[in-house]
A and B are shown apart, each in its own frame.
Chain A
Amino acid sequence: MIHRTEPLWWLLFAAGGSAAAVLAPVLILLTGIAAPAGWFPQAFPYEHVRALVSHPVTRLVLFGVIVLSFFHWAHRFRYTLAEGLALKRAWLPVAVVCYAAAIAGTVSAAVVILKL
């Protein structure tokens, strides 16, 4: 069943890889380093960020890059485990666990972003 849907997982992987390639570095820099380190103090007070993030386009983009990154991870990690641990044929349980985790992440992301 996983094999017949392989093109789907690959498309999600490719979309996730592209989205992460373009957006991840700047997002990590902003939310993980600039904000907590206190750079650009005018940019990160609560009201400003809250307003920024509640815009529907922002929510859509954030949902997209987060969810696609989860599926990108799932597909890539599934194959890395199969190769790195020399499991034969990207062993089915590994694949199921990875994609299930990505789907769970998608549901969480939807819940969080809808509540913004």
Chain B
Amino acid sequence: MRAYSRPTEFNWWLTNRTYFFFVVRELTSVLIAAYMVFLLVLLRRLAAGPEAYAAYLRFLGSPGMLLFHLVALAAALYHSITWFRLAPMAITLRVRGRRVPGATVVAANYAAWLVVSLVVAWIVLRS
């Protein structure tokens, strides 16, 4: 008797909310990498001198670039939130013979994120 096959459709990730947000999550890596390119260009302009740096800052201030960075920031935040939720499942920490609860590891990740962000902001912004 012939079994009936239902192959996955080309638009599989558009037909289901969870699958759609999975693809969005994966694509955040594109925006983050794009930002890193702009960051590298900033470093290059810094090495080139004060006029190059100032011109680049003006370019970054244009509406298009500000919009890009806002979208990139949203992507980075979505990446961070999903990463801290999912990455800990690869590690099973045991303290004194008992498994450390997932919530503890997630909280520790958020704490590290906050601390690092504050440290970086403080280093850059103090004068």
Contacts and interface: CB of A to CB of B under 8 A. Distances in A.
CB atoms of A and B under 8 A apart anywhere in the complex?
yes
Interface of A: 14, 17-18, 20-33, 35-38, 40, 42-44, 46, 48-50, 52-53, 62, 65-66, 69-70, 72-73, 76-77, 79-80, 83-84, 86, 105, 108-109, 112-113, 115-116
A27 B66 contact: no
Q: Is chain A's binding surface mostly helix, strand, loop or mixed?
A: helix
- Chain B interface residue bracket vs A: 35 or more
Contacts of A72: 29, 32-33
A43 B72 CA distance: 22
Contacts of A86: 8, 10, 12
The 7 closest A-B pairs by CB, nearest first: A32-B69, A73-B33, A36-B60, A36-B61, A24-B76, A26-B117, A21-B83
27 contacts: A14-B87, A17-B79, A18-B87, A20-B83, A21-B79, A22-B117, A24-B80, A25-B76, A26-B120, A28-B35, A30-B125, A31-B42, A31-B60, A36-B57, A36-B58, A36-B60, A36-B66, A38-B61, A50-B46, A72-B29, A72-B33, A73-B33, A80-B23, A80-B27, A84-B23, A105-B37, A113-B43
A30 B116 CA distance: 14
B57 A35 contact: yes
A32 B127 CA distance: 19
B43 A53 contact: yes
B30 interface: yes
Given A49-B53, A83-B13, 9 more contacts: A21-B84, A26-B117, A32-B68, A36-B66, A40-B125, A43-B124, A46-B50, A79-B26, A116-B43
B112 interface: yes
Interface of B: 8, 10, 12-13, 23, 26-27, 29-30, 32-33, 35-40, 42-44, 46-47, 50, 53-54, 57-58, 60-61, 65-66, 68-70, 72-73, 76-77, 79-80, 83-84, 87, 90, 109, 112-113, 116-117, 120-121, 123-127
Contacts of B36: 65-66, 69-70, 105
Contacts of A21: 79-80, 83-84, 87, 109, 113
